[in-house]
């Protein structure tokens, strides 16, 4: 089922219509892809072919680690589309000229919806220059963002009240339809250079090579489902009680795949509900409420990647304590290279640098300590966001922007006032020691850095 609320259609009829285009950008998958299914159904109905177009554009702060994870999937998708009799074009041209030229002969240009500033700019440009019908289909949230709320929500509490009223309506499976058309190859553009391996593709992208790819996570729809199935079978039952323990491995590890659209949040939610295990409620809180609160934040707050996006109360209280004595001060380079006095913080930073992912509880502690050890809260915000986006596979994502902002009071409430933090929530190493075998986490990360 494709709910009408997921579909945002505009444009006009194009009499020179020979095909449908699906511009794949955010939803980089075949399974549970509402945009792809919309395009297939439209193609079948109009009895004209479907072309899938994938353009790899420079993305702010993306580097080789991110591009490799993404391209792990792209060539596999091309093979899968070939088996479906659909021509997939992979383009590395650094503008939209080919896509806009393709649209001259299209009945409709269909795309998926992204919520970041850069994605909105891309979509706006193509829409403004597209001579045919143009449709954006929301496939990477369970509840379409503007259906869920018409404004930026204050907290998970306020968003949750709205979500619970809509979940029964939107938690419906997407039944795929087979593509019935032909493979269209008579393109009105010079076809991009045929790329048959990942090395050629990465060379064409000219990616920043400073951060090496992760040896711990491989991109791809198949890998995403492998992680999902393992989580549902082996971890979900104890997820609620063990997910926050960094010494254990009870997180889902799905965030990189959700970030790159290689896994559907709707499919993930439905599969979790089907299992009906003890941890399902806690997992759905993370997957739907917290994740879609982050989407709400970046969609409605144009300053989501800046310090001024924080609530006024948290900026005021942090500013009131800006002159408090700080026990340690570190430069951005010292943070980046895990050169603080705190072995737990260093372990978290090294986990992120080595694997491309940090345990969620440690990411909160990590962000809080950057506040404590930076000259100003704004310096701390910039450092945390820079490091997160540089090393995390799921960086540069609504969850990343909201997660860093949470450390500074976003989506939270005032707590007891203290030095440096004011009434922004505080975390310390004593709490780690009290709750977890945190030294076991340190040893785990040391073993990652120095495998036997």
Q: What is the pLDDT of residues 31-90, one digit of tens each?
A: 999 999 999 999 999 999 999 999 999 899 999 999 999 999 999 999 999 999 999 999
For the record, the structure tokens of 199 come out as 């090395």
123 in Cβ contact with 220 (< 8 Å) = no
What is the pLDDT at residue 78? 94
Q: Which fold has domain 221-300?
A: 1.25.40
Architecture of domain 307-446 in this structure = Orthogonal Bundle (1.10)
pLDDT confidence tier of residue 208, bands split at 50, 70 and 90: confident
Please give the helix or strand (H or E) that residue 22 lies within, else none.
Answer: strand 19-24
Considering the chain, what percentage of its residues have pLDDT values greater than 90? 91
Does residue 386 carry a pLDDT above 90?
yes
27 in Cβ contact with 33 (< 8 Å) = yes
What is the pLDDT at residue 194? 73
> What single-letter DSSP state applies at residue 285?
I
What is the pLDDT at residue 331? 98
CATH 1.10.579.10 domain span(s) along the chain: 307-446
For the record, the structure tokens of 243 come out as 């997910």
CATH 1.25.40.80 domain span(s) along the chain: 221-300
pLDDT by residue (tens digit) across 124-169? 999 999 999 999 999 999 999 999 999 999 999 999 999 999 999 9
Domain 1-139, CATH among 3.40.630.10, 3.30.428.10, 3.40.50.10860, 3.40.50.620: 3.40.50.620
Tell me the pairing of strands 133-137 and 87-91: unpaired
Helices (H), 183-263: 198-205, 221-234, 239-242, 255-259
pLDDT by residue (tens digit) across 395-437? 999 999 999 999 999 999 999 999 999 999 999 999 999 999 9
**105-120 as b/e: b if 16+ CB within 10 A:** bbbbbbbbbbbbeebe
């Amino acid at each position: 089922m494709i709910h009408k609320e997921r579909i945002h259609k505009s444009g006009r009829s194009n009499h020179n219509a020979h095909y449908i285009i699906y511009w794949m950008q955010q939803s980089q998958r075949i399974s549970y892809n509402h945009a792809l299914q919309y395009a297939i159904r439209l193609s079948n109905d109009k009895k004209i072919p479907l072309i899938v177009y994938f353009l790899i554009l420079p993305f702010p702060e993306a580097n080789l680690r991110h591009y490799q994870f993404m391209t792990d999937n792209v060539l596999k998708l091309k093979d899968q589309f070939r088996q479906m009799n659909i021509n997939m074009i992979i383009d590395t041209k650094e503008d939209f000229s080919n896509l806009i030229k393709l649209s001259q002969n299209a009945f409709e240009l269909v795309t998926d919806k992204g919520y970041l500033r850069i994605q909105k700019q891309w979509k706006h440009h193509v829409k403004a220059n597209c001579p045919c019908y143009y449709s954006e289909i929301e496939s990477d949230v369970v509840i379409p963002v503007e259906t869920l709320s018409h404004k930026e929500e204050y907290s998970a509490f306020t968003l949750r009240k709205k979500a619970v009223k809509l979940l029964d309506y939107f938690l419906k499976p997407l039944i795929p339809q087979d593509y019935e058309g032909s493979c269209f190859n008579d393109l009105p553009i010079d076809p991009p250079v045929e790329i048959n391996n990942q090395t050629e593709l990465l060379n064409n992208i000219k990616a920043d090579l400073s951060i090496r790819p992760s040896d711990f996570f491989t991109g791809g729809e198949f890998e995403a489902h492998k992680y999902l199935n393992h989580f549902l079978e082996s971890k979900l039952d104890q997820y609620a009680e063990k997910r926050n323990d960094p010494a254990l491995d009870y997180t889902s590890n799905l965030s990189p795949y959700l970030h790159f659209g290689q896994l559907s949040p709707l499919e993930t939610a439905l599969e979790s509900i089907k299992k009906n295990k003890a941890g399902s409620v806690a997992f759905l809180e993370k997957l739907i409420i917290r994740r879609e609160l982050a989407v709400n934040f970046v969609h409605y707050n144009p300053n989501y990647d800046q310090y001024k996006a924080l609530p006024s109360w948290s900026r005021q209280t942090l500013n009131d304590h800006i002159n408090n004595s700080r026990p340690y001060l570190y430069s951005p380079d010292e943070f980046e290279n895990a050169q603080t006095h705190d072995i737990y913080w260093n372990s978290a930073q090294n986990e992120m640098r080595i694997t491309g992912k940090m345990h969620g509880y440690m990411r909160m502690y990590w962000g809080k300590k950057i506040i404590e050890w930076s000259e100003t809260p704004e310096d701390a915000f910039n450092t945390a966001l820079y490091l997160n986006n540089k090393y995390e596979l799921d960086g540069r994502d609504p969850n990343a922007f909201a997660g860093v902002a949470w450390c500074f009071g976003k989506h939270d409430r005032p707590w007891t006032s203290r030095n440096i933090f004011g009434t922004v929530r505080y975390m310390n190493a004593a709490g780690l020691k009290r709750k977890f075998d945190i030294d076991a986490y340190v040893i785990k990360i040391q073993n990652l850095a120095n495998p036997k």
